[in-house]
Amino acid sequence: MMMRSIGALISAWRHYRRSSRGAAAAEFAIMLPLLTIPVLNAIDLGVYAYDRMELNLAAQVAAQQAWVLCAVNGKVPATVTVNGKANCPGFGAAETSAAQSMTLGSSVTITSTTENYYCLNSSNQLVVVGPVTSPEPADCTSANPKSTDAPGDYVLVTASYSYSPLFAQVSVASKLTTPITQTAWMRLN
């Protein structure tokens, strides 16, 4: 009797070894982490790119506040203080509020706002020809000797946002530059 049960066990063991039922599930369970990591990376990279575009838009909206609040009302240069009073009062708060009204919200910070007189050089690139705290240059000959154009008053707004990846342990997005920084220009005159 004992021989018979040992023979049955050996037979059952041989049958079990040849059976492939459940093998696909076991292989899938082994491969699932390897399939999931690229998907998580794609999600994080997509969110990073979206946040970068939204920050760019927030910087543009902040720069447009110089036009809406200051240039339209003749309070240019916007960032200058005259006799202890701001030439365009409330501009700093308005640009911050405008930037934070976008989808990234209060996580957006305005890191700098500069305003200068610019002209195009012979390569059609903007170059500084003077600060707005000094009188406006008569023309753009200092940047381009052949130019008779008047210099433009431009404001440059820099905004930043600290990005944190959704899946930091497995994502290459954690290696990307943070905080994200974007700049936007607006001509005021």
Q: Note the pLDDT tens digit of each residue in 27-74.
A: 888 888 888 999 999 999 999 999 999 999 999 999 999 999 998 888
pLDDT band at 86 (very low <50, low <70, confident <90, very high): confident
Domain that residue 181 falls in: 29-187
Residue 72 lies in a domain: yes
Whether residue 21 lies inside any domain: the answer is: no
Instruction: Please tell me the total count of domains within the chain.
Output: 1
Q: Where do the DSSP E strands lie in 41-96?
A: 81-82, 85-86
H/E run at residue 18: helix 2-18
Q: Indicate if the pLDDT at residue 2 is higher than 70.
A: no
Residue 24 lies in a domain: no
pLDDT at 143 over 60: yes
Query: Residue 22 domain-assigned?
Result: no
Domain-located, residue 83: yes
Is residue 140 within 8 Å of residue 120, measured between CB atoms? Answer: yes
Strand partners, 120: 126
| Residue 75 domain-assigned (yes or no) | yes
* CA distance linking residue 15 with residue 8, whole number of Å: 10
Report the mean per-residue pLDDT for the chain.
88
5 belongs to a structural domain: no
Contact 189, 76 (CB under 8 A): yes
